[in-house]
Amino acid sequence: MISYDLTGKTALVTGGASGIGFATARMLAKFGATVAVNHLPDDPRGPEAVNKLIDAGGKAIGAPGSVGEAGTAERMVLKAIDELGRLDLLFNNAGTPGTRHRIPPPQLESITEDLWSQLLETNLLGMFRCSKAAAPALKAAKGAVVNTASIAGLGRAGSSLAYSATKAGVVSLTQNLARALAPDVRVNAIAPGAVDSSWMVEWTNEERQQSIERALLKRRCQPEDLAEVVVFLGFGAAMVTGQTITVDGGLTL
């Protein structure tokens, strides 16, 4: 793993209370960055995540607020930036599948207007809201944005066709935000495959084993595998922008 000296740097991680978000926040803090951990206001894992980072010797603050709510998302970002003093990295990681069980593509009757609204508001509009609000601070710091897409947005069937569509939108949004914020800010995305982390979708043991067998590297990704790529895109990769990096152990191959 590459080590970075991020002393004096700051980051805002949305959806930072668990999974990929928390793993990234922990890695950033380990390298010396001050991290704002965004979480839903009623999620007890948020304050717990902040305390874990601080107990491990890192610098962290809480940034409660739903990215899926217009106005709330922007206020959360601006408050976090005010407390941090600057912003070097925005990791747009917050997202939801909107369902606890996979909805196969033929089951169109299960794809409701409410599901579409929830997924679009959180997975796609939430990223735009946070990026737009953070843009001035990111430009001032010559910073970076990293978005969480998914292999479901690259042609794979995800938890639902609506989820896949929002993640395909993230890929497009990443490219266009790269155009919008250049030359001062780089914007990239990660596309995780099968990841062992807390997630609303309940996969069976058989499905988990199949994902291991199909992956070229013969294991499922851990949150830390994604965190390593996020940190690289945020603080290395000086000539990389507008790209979506697949991190799936060769699952899509």
Q: Which of 4, 185, 170 is nearest to 89 (CA)?
A: 185
pLDDT for res 198: 64
Give residue 211's pLDDT: 80
Separation CA 238–CA 221 (nearest Å):
25
Note the maximum CA span of the chain: 51
Residue pLDDT tens, the chain, 253 long: 789 999 999 999 999 999 999 999 999 999 999 999 999 999 999 999 999 999 999 999 999 999 999 999 999 999 999 999 999 999 999 999 998 888 999 999 999 999 999 999 999 999 999 999 999 999 999 999 999 999 999 988 888 999 999 999 999 999 999 999 999 999 999 999 888 776 656 677 787 788 889 889 998 889 999 999 999 999 999 999 999 999 999 999 9
For strands 144-148 and 89-92, give the pairing: parallel
The answer to whether the predicted template modeling score (pTM) of the entire model surpasses 0.85 is yes
Sign of the dihedral defined by the CA atoms of residues 42, 26, 85, 48, in that order: positive
Q: What pLDDT, on a 0 to 100 scale, did the predictor assign at position 48? A: 98
Give the residue ranges of DSSP H helices in the chain.
19-30, 45-55, 72-84, 113-119, 126-141, 161-181, 205-214, 223-235
CA distance readout (Å), 108 to 105, 112, 155, 157: 7, 8, 18, 14
Q: Which helix (H) or strand (E) holds 237?
A: none
Nearest CA-CA partner of 51 in 61, 42, 41, 66: 61
Nearest partner of 28 among 55, 47, 51, 9, judged by Cα: 9
Q: Structural domain boundaries of the chain?
A: 10-247
Tell me how long the chain is. 253
d(CA 93, CA 145): 10
CATH number of 10-247: 3.40.50.720
Give the gyration radius of the chain's Cα atoms: 17
Residues catalogued as catalytic: 163
Label the pairing between strands 34-39 and 144-148.
Answer: unpaired
The reported pLDDT for the residue numbered 199 is 61
